[in-house]
Amino acid sequence: MKVNTLNDFINRIPKAELHVHIEGTFEPELMFALAKRNDITLKYASVEELRKAYRFNNLQEFLDIYYEGANVLIQEQDFYDLTIAYLEKCRDENVVHTEMFFDPQTHTHRGIALETVISGIQNALDDAKKNWGITSCLIPNFLRHLSEDDAIKTFNEALEFRELFAGFGLDSSELGHPPAKFERLFRMVNDEGFRAVAHAGEEGPAQNVWDALQLLKVIRIDHGVRSVEDEVLLKELVQKQIPLTVCPLSNLKLKVVQKMEDLPLKTLLENNILATINSDDPAYFGGYINDNYKAVAEALDLGEKEMITLAENSFKASFLSQQEKEKWLKTIEKIYTDFY
């Protein structure tokens, strides 16, 4: 089948996105517009100059620029505009369900009220449901480069909005900030009845994935591509049905892999891991979800069957109800049978 046709096929399959940071969807054009509206001067003279800075050798180089960009978000309307722009992409790319991360501390540390952040994001999510039928949930992530005490304080503040959250996660610099640093916090998260997820095995070793599972009791791993370095861990992920939210273009841009052909997605699928495809921070990594599906299809020589499996996995690994999952799995099956 010609690439064009495979691209059309990818566009047509309904998909869930389980790993996207709303702050990472901040396109330079919108950043400049909001900077102007808020009377903030950016370090870069133009959109082109800012885009040129998007060359990263590792996760930390990206995070430094990403946190700087977030400084432009001040008013509730800013968070609304940011979120609705991402949701328009979802509508256009047939993402019918999204589980969205945001970083409360990135904003509260700058004096922005948690309520401002959450209201802006949630109003956009509600509008996307009403206008386009896109379902969603929110997952606040704690910044692992800050202290556990700071995260606990943030968690306690977030409890005021608890009914809006599907769970809590852990992101930011993995190296030097292992899961063990947040054991007490995640005990609280689990005791309060929330789902727990964590970034692990992105830049850090497979041991971080073990620790996220055993110490933090997470039920889904974000990234986790370095799990392939540990065969026993792969068996554990299958046995415990722990999904991985893989982010191909992110892994390439942050040099987790040197080339897309090195992404161990085939190994994960061959080992029956519930691997999914996600965009992570699409404004910084050069593509939204369909570009990520296309990039792996091309580099790893995957076809319609694997695209279907990955889309199915995205629903199976989601926090949707069993009934919703079955509805989307049936829709995908119909697309596949109509195709052949």
The set of catalytic residues is 202
Tokens of 191: 């005791």
Supply the minimum distance, in Å, between the C-beta of residue 171 and Zn ion. Answer: 5
Which partner in Zn ion, ligand ADE, none is near 24 (CB below 5 to 8 A by kind)? ligand ADE
Q: Which residue has tokens 């009934």? A: 323
Supply the minimum distance, in Å, between the C-beta of residue 256 and ligand ADE. Answer: 9
CA atoms within 13 A on the CB side of 221: 33
Count of residues in the chain:
340
Supply the minimum distance, in Å, between the C-beta of residue 56 and ligand ADE. Answer: 10
Which partner in ligand ADE, Zn ion, none is near 294 (CB below 5 to 8 A by kind)? none
39: left (phi over 0), alpha (psi -120 to 50) or beta: left
CA dihedral sign of residues 323, 329, 334, 335: positive
Q: How much is the CA Rg of the chain, to the nearest whole Å? A: 19
Supply the minimum distance, in Å, between the C-beta of residue 169 and ligand ADE. Answer: 9
Supply the minimum distance, in Å, between the C-beta of residue 196 and ligand ADE. Answer: 16
Q: What residues between 252 and 311 interact with Zn ion by CB under 5 A?
A: 280
Of residues 106 and 290, the one with the C-beta less far from ligand ADE:
106
Q: According to the binding rule CB under 5 A, does residue 202 interact with Zn ion? A: no
- 28-37 helix and 76-93 helix, angle to the nearest 10 degrees: 160
Of residues 199 and 325, the one with the C-beta less far from ligand ADE:
199
CA dihedral sign of residues 159, 165, 166, 167: negative
Of residues 216 and 332, the one with the C-beta less far from Zn ion:
216
Q: Could you give the residue ranges of the DSSP H alpha helices within 206-303?
A: 206-214, 231-239, 248-253, 265-270, 282-285, 289-300
Which partner in Zn ion, ligand ADE, none is near 81 (CB below 5 to 8 A by kind)? none
Percent helix, strand and coil across the chain, each rounded to 5? 60, 15, 30
Of residues 10 and 139, the one with the C-beta less far from Zn ion:
139
223 pairs with which residues across the strands? 200
Q: What is the binding site for ligand ADE (CB under 6 A)? A: 21, 24, 59, 171-172, 199, 202, 250, 280-281
Of residues 70 and 317, the one with the C-beta less far from ligand ADE:
70
Residues near Zn ion, by CB under 5 A? 280
